[in-house]
Amino acid sequence: MTNHEEEIKKEFINEIKRLVKDRSKIENFEDIIEEKFQQFLKVSLEEGNK
Amino acid sequence: MSEVEVTLENVGGFVNKHTFKFKAGTVNIVEAPNWAGKSSLIKGITIALSMPFGSELSKEVAQRIGLIRKEGDTREPLIHVGKKEATIIIRRDNEKRICLLNSEKGYVVKPEGDHRFLLTSMLTRSSEVVRRIADGDSNFEWILREVSLAERYEKIKSLFEKTRYEISLKIDELGRRIEQRNRIKEELLKLQIEIKKAKEKERDLNKAITSLPRVDPQLENRRNELLKQISEEETKKYSYKKRIEQLSKEITEIKHRYSSAEVNFRMLSEELKNTENAIRKIEAELKSLPSEEIVKKWELELQKINDARERLREKEGEIKGELKVYEDVFNFMQQNKIKETKCPLCGEGTVTYEDINFKVNELKARLKNIHDEISRNIRYRNELYQKIRLREEREPSLKREKEKLSEKRSEIAKRIRDIKLKLEAAQKEVLPLQNAIKRTKTELKQVEDRITELREQLKEIDMKISEKGEKERKLIEELGAIREKIEGLDRSIENNKKVLEELETTEINEITVSLDIALSIMRKWLRVIDEVMEFIDSEIRREKMLAIERFNTEVKRILTEVGLTDLEIWIDSNTYNLHVVTEGKPQPLVSLSGAQKHIISVILQLALKEAYMRDEPFFLIDEVMLDFHGKSQESIMKYLYEATKKFAWTTIITKLGEGKGIVIRSLS
């Protein structure tokens, strides 16, 4: 896993920590996963092209 | 001491507004008889403090105590029967909580409640703790999940599990596609090796064909010469056939031109024949007519017949006269019945009646003979007369007819002569053509014989060079087969390349990515998800551990404070099972007595309230739950009272009263 990818993972965890404190937002967590995957995909493709 | 005000409008059994006042920081006893509205009051407070029900368990409890209606529920509804809306208002110090219930639109609670209230702040027979202890269910993981953040983490985890499953499917699919792609690559490689070999084989065959020994040039020249000659003779044969065809066509045209004359000739010939036959017939008939001499003879005979008939007539007259005489006599004798008389002719002698009668009959017979003879005479005369007349009439008509037919015959003969001239002219035209055909046919026969002879020679030469030809044929056949194979391999390679091209990439979020990169990204993403899930799992464990620790601490403290020192209760951090030890002996929940279960339920509920919802001021208790005897009840009530005071709770204990309405008093 590259640094960028590692960074996304950490962001993900922080997001989760933040969300468990706000129940209402948990329902939309699927969208957050999708959003994070987009970021991950973008970074991975950029890394791969270097 | 501050007050807490609860206003209910159209809630349960209450119609219109009803306000109840409770003291904060103390235990409030609510006394009322059955059907006075105790349950409606408790339900009203509970729903306002616990809505919305955020977990499956809280929904289940809410249904059980009648906060949420389910199908077939016969209990009193939360909104008064006949009303559509209900309102609950809770005022405490400067805080105000409003809960609006609408049978069609649902509910609105401001600020929102906390579903954990149902699990921690109610001690009734419907409470989850009481129910589980009564059932002997020792698994207490549920409470840890509900009261800590573990439940939220678990929700997030379930979303991650779904994502993880989808990623795994994608990875599997990519794996399968890569496998398929690799198989096709291998196949392609094999095909390329095979085509290379086939092309080498093709080169070898070409070389082998080129290097075959040459045929004797003299034979080849002779063969070519023969082929040339055959071709020339074939050309001649063709031209002769064409010539014959042309001549036949010309003859046909001439014959066609004279075809009507030919037909006329045949018809006239037939007519001439018929006419001649008719003339011959007439001549025969003429010849058969009687000659003049015979006719003269017949005429003389006729004269004689006439004379004889005259004589017979005379004789007839005579006999008739004589007969007349005799008949008259006979009639006279008969009428007069005379038997004898004198001879009527001579007047002499005697004649009898019989003699007369005999004479009459004799004369009649003679007369008849004469008549017969006359008839014969007449017939004969008629015959002769007829013959003579026939000859006189027939001969001239026959002669006339013969004359006519003779004229016709001459005319036909003349026409036939004319037509014959025409046909002879046609024959003159056709004859040279027929001769030409005959000549050409002879020439054609010669050419055909020549061709046969040349072909025989060619066959002999071909046989001589066939050995070399056979080898070449086989090589060429082999070359054809190998070229076909090369074409087939080329097609397979192209098809595989096309499939390979399609298999090389995939789409991730509408971005086209190569299979290997896609697989690598998805695997890394799966690793990220797995690591995040590991974090979530650790958080769930940590949350549960903290909850257990807090719960166990509270239970231990309460047990000590209420003086139940021979009772130990705790949740195991590994199994999440509730353990009960009395007087040093572990007790399975199912083995506990009803009273023991009762006391343990109360202790646990107090611990849950203190551990997890200490800041929520309402604590609702059904007096029945405190209905146990001895020191335990006294010490627990004392503890409850102290805790209520300490944490400024508004503890409400409902009690069956004997008055008419609801009476609220605080416990001193």
Angle at B180 between CA B179 and CA B184, to 5 degrees: 115
Q: Is B526 on the interface with A (CB under 8 A)?
A: no
Report the pLDDT value the prediction gives residue A50, as an integer from 0 to 100. Answer: 53
Given a cut of 70, is residue B1 above it in pLDDT? no
| Count of other CB atoms within 10 angstroms of residue A42 | 14
| Segment B73-96 mean pLDDT | 86
- Using alpha carbons, select from B88, B80, B149, B131 the residue that is nearest to residue B113: B88
pLDDT tens, B347-392?
778 888 888 889 899 999 999 999 999 999 999 999 988 888 888 8
Q: Is B542 on the interface with A (CB under 8 A)?
A: no
| Segment B570-574 mean pLDDT | 93
Q: Is A37 on the interface with B (CB under 8 A)?
A: yes
| Segment B618-638 mean pLDDT | 82
Cα B140 versus chain centre, distance: 62
Closest chain B C-alpha to A28 CA, distance in angstroms: 10
Q: What is the mean pLDDT of chain B?
A: 89
- Helix or strand run (H / E) with residue B27: strand B26-32
Contact between chains at B509 and A41 (C-beta distance less than 8 A): yes
Report the pLDDT value the prediction gives residue B646, as an integer from 0 to 100. Answer: 94
What is the C-alpha to C-alpha distance for residues B191 and B207, in angstroms, rounded to an integer?
24
Closest chain B C-alpha to A18 CA, distance in angstroms: 11
Percent of chain B scored above 90 by pLDDT?
Answer: 51
Q: In sequence order, what are the residues at sequence separation of 6 or more whose Cβ sits closer than 8 angstroms to the Cβ of residue B518?
A: B174, B505, B506, B508
Q: Is A32 on the interface with B (CB under 8 A)?
A: no
Provide the pLDDT confidence category of residue B508 given band limits of 50, 70 and 90.
Answer: confident
Q: Is B152 on the interface with A (CB under 8 A)?
A: yes
Please tell me which residue of chain A has the smallest CA distance to B55.
A23
In 3-state terms, chain A is what percent helix, strand and coil (to 5)? 85, 0, 15
Report the pLDDT value the prediction gives residue B433, as an integer from 0 to 100. Answer: 93
Which of A13, A29, A48 minimises the CB distance to B159?
A29
Partners of residue B527 in chain A, C-beta under 8 Å: 1
Report the pLDDT value the prediction gives residue B279, as an integer from 0 to 100. Answer: 94
Closest chain A C-alpha to B637 CA, distance in angstroms: 35
Which of A1, A23, A30 minimises the CB distance to B524?
A1
10 Å CB burial of residue A40 (0-12, 13-18, 19+) is buried
Terminal CA-to-CA distance of chain A, rounded, Å?
A: 15
Q: Is B505 on the interface with A (CB under 8 A)?
A: no
Q: Is B532 on the interface with A (CB under 8 A)?
A: yes
**Would you call B509 helix, strand, or coil by DSSP?**
coil
Partners of residue B536 in chain A, C-beta under 8 Å: 16
Contact between chains at A44 and B521 (C-beta distance less than 8 A): yes
pLDDT tens, A3-43?
877 888 888 898 888 888 776 566 778 888 888 888 888 88
Name residue B506's beta-bridge partners.
Answer: B513
Partners of residue B520 in chain A, C-beta under 8 Å: 44, 48
In sign, the C-alpha dihedral spanning B203, B209, B213, B218 is negative
Name residue B122's beta-bridge partners.
Answer: B620
Angle at B348 between CA B345 and CA B352, to 5 degrees: 80
Given a cut of 90, is residue B267 above it in pLDDT? no
| Segment B35-44 mean pLDDT | 88
Partners of residue A37 in chain B, C-beta under 8 Å: 509, 525
Q: Is B525 on the interface with A (CB under 8 A)?
A: yes
This complex has an ipTM of: 0.94
Partners of residue A29 in chain B, C-beta under 8 Å: 155-156, 159
Given a cut of 60, is residue A49 above it in pLDDT? no
Mutate which: B154, B535, B536, B546, vs A, most A CBs within 10 A: B535
Closest chain A C-alpha to B515 CA, distance in angstroms: 13
Contact between chains at B54 and A41 (C-beta distance less than 8 A): no
Q: Is A21 on the interface with B (CB under 8 A)?
A: yes
Higher pLDDT, B111 or B347: B111
Provide the pLDDT confidence category of residue B247 given band limits of 50, 70 and 90.
Answer: very high
Q: Is A30 on the interface with B (CB under 8 A)?
A: yes
pLDDT tens, B393-414?
888 899 999 999 999 999 999 9
Mutate which: B531, B537, B542, vs A, most A CBs within 10 A: B531
What is the C-alpha to C-alpha distance for residues B605 and B130, in angstroms, rounded to an integer?
8
DSSP class of residue B93 equals T
Provide the pLDDT confidence category of residue B334 given band limits of 50, 70 and 90.
Answer: confident
User: How far, CA to CA in Å, does B442 sit from each of A39, B438, B450?
Assistant: 102, 6, 12
Please tell me which residue of chain B has the smallest CA distance to A49.
B517
Given a cut of 80, is residue B214 above it in pLDDT? no
Report the pLDDT value the prediction gives residue B629, as an integer from 0 to 100. Answer: 67
Provide the pLDDT confidence category of residue B626 given band limits of 50, 70 and 90.
Answer: confident
- Using alpha carbons, select from B649, B580, B657, B656 the residue that is nearest to residue B122: B649
Q: In sequence order, what are the residues at sequence separation of 6 or more whose Cβ sits closer than 8 angstroms to the Cβ of residue B265?
A: B416, B419, B420, B423
DSSP class of residue B69 equals -
pLDDT tens, B441-500?
999 999 999 988 998 898 888 777 776 677 888 888 899 899 899 999 999 999 998 898
What is the C-alpha to C-alpha distance for residues B457 and B132, in angstroms, rounded to an integer?
118
What is the C-alpha to C-alpha distance for residues B556 and B392, in angstroms, rounded to an integer?
180
Q: Is B193 on the interface with A (CB under 8 A)?
A: no
